Amino acid sequence: MYSLKELQDLIHKEIKGLRTGDEPKGLYEPIHYVLSLGGKRIRPALCLLAFQLFSKKKPGKDVIYPAIGLEVFHNFTLLHDDVMDAADIRRGMPTVHKKWNDNTAILSGDAMMIKAYQYVSMCPEKDMAEVMETFNDLALGVCEGQQYDMDFETRNDVTAEEYIEMIRLKTSVLIAGSLKIGAIIGSASKKDKNLIYEFGENIGIAFQLQDDYLDVYGDPAVFGKNIGGDIVNNKKTFLLLQALGKAKGRVKAELDKWIENRDADAQEKIDAVRGIYDNLGIPSLSQTLMKEYFDKSINALLSIDADEKIKEDLRQFAINLIDRAS
Ligand code: IPE
Ligand code: IPE
Ligand code: MG
Ligand code: MG
Ligand code: MG
């Protein structure tokens, strides 16, 4: 069994050695660029931790490659997401569509999705059908979540329930699916596969709540993305939904004005909306909700019938996911 540190080193080494192709350079260079910028590599780590939770064997290529495929898939979603969100900075560096252009982000992203399928399908033959079904479900789920995310930008009647469902789709299903794929290859029981998925769904929601919080309150140097992009884009985050629900009178009118003003100066809008959040005590509401989903995730984890020590590793990993600043 590998420690988390050993697993992370292994993932790092595999991604460094990953060869997608050389020509045409316009297709492959952006792929190598985004993969070389690092990132937390959460999804392959979760996949391999889940495998180790159920299998006595050391992870071999037939689980390491699928885990890498999940990271490549995640990076593909980032290329397209940054076009959709008009985001200029990722992992502290220019996004692919900024460094190259939108068409490059689209096509290199497409190629990465295909590469992801190649890697995930290197799972054991006996698990192929279940792994591919899980992967197809998560891939389509991300698309559905991303569409809701975009639809919500121009809607002003989004409910908290709709928001949670949107982030479950765009973020949690990939995290939960990564865990489940590790569990499938590790020969977990049906019950435990469902429990590890439930762990992932809830920790994924907590993780996206923290991402939305950091988008407003993070340190750009550590977070690696521009701060305030969600405010500029009128993303219906839990923060904004709560503010819309709680603001009264003059404050509500001011918030509505910022949302309607398409030509607002970005920094002025960010500062003003953040000020409204602060005055309404919104950050602590978001932290409370995050804790609720964190607790739900841990309850599911603790119900799994597996090695207590590895469950503890996963619990620590989950704590780091919500305590993070990057
Ligand atoms: C960013 O994911 C997209 C979200 C789901 C919030 P990560 O925060 O895992 O990004 P990297 O891979 O570490 O850069
Ligand atoms: C992430 O949502 C969802 C996907 C990338 C699928 P965000 O748009 O909040 O992610 P970041 O903040 O750009 O990483
Ligand atoms: Mg984004
Ligand atoms: Mg987005
Ligand atoms: Mg974000």
Q: Name the residue among 274, 261, 129, 259 with its Cα closest to residue 212.
A: 274
pLDDT tens digits for range 68-121: 999 999 999 999 999 999 999 999 999 999 999 999 999 999 999 999 999 999
Torsion (CA) 82, 135, 223, 267 in degrees, nearest 10? 30
Helix segments in 154-189, DSSP class H: 160-167, 173-185
CA of residue 146 to ligand 4 center, whole Å: 7
pLDDT tens digits for range 170-226: 999 999 999 999 999 999 999 999 999 999 999 999 999 999 999 999 999 999 999
Measured CA to CA, the distance from residue 96 to residue 218 in angstroms comes to 22
Ligand 1 site, CB within 6 A? 39-40, 42, 91, 171, 208, 211
Could you identify the atom of ligand 2 that is nearest to the CA of residue 87?
13
Could you identify the atom of ligand 1 that is nearest to the CA of residue 75?
12
Q: What is the pTM of this model?
A: 0.98
CA of residue 248 to ligand 2 center, whole Å: 30
Torsion (CA) 301, 302, 306, 307 in degrees, nearest 10? 110
Q: Which ligand is nearest to the CA of 77?
A: 2
Judged against a pLDDT cut of 90, whether residue 262 lies above it is answered with no
Tokens at residue 30, please? Answer: 């952006």
Could you identify the atom of ligand 2 that is nearest to the CA of residue 230?
9
Could you identify the atom of ligand 1 that is nearest to the CA of residue 40?
13
CA of residue 211 to ligand 3 center, whole Å: 10
Residue with tokens 């709540």: 209
CA of residue 307 to ligand 2 center, whole Å: 33
Ligand 2 pocket check for 78: Cβ under 6 Å: yes
Apex 152 CA angle, 149 and 154, nearest 5: 130
Measured CA to CA, the distance from residue 161 to residue 271 in angstroms comes to 27
Give 129's pLDDT tier (boundaries 50, 70, 90): very high
DSSP character at residue 180: H
Q: Which ligand is nearest to the CA of 224?
A: 1
Residue whose CA is at the smallest distance from ligand 2 atom 14 = 78
pLDDT tens digits for range 27-80: 999 999 999 999 999 999 999 999 999 999 999 999 999 999 999 999 999 999
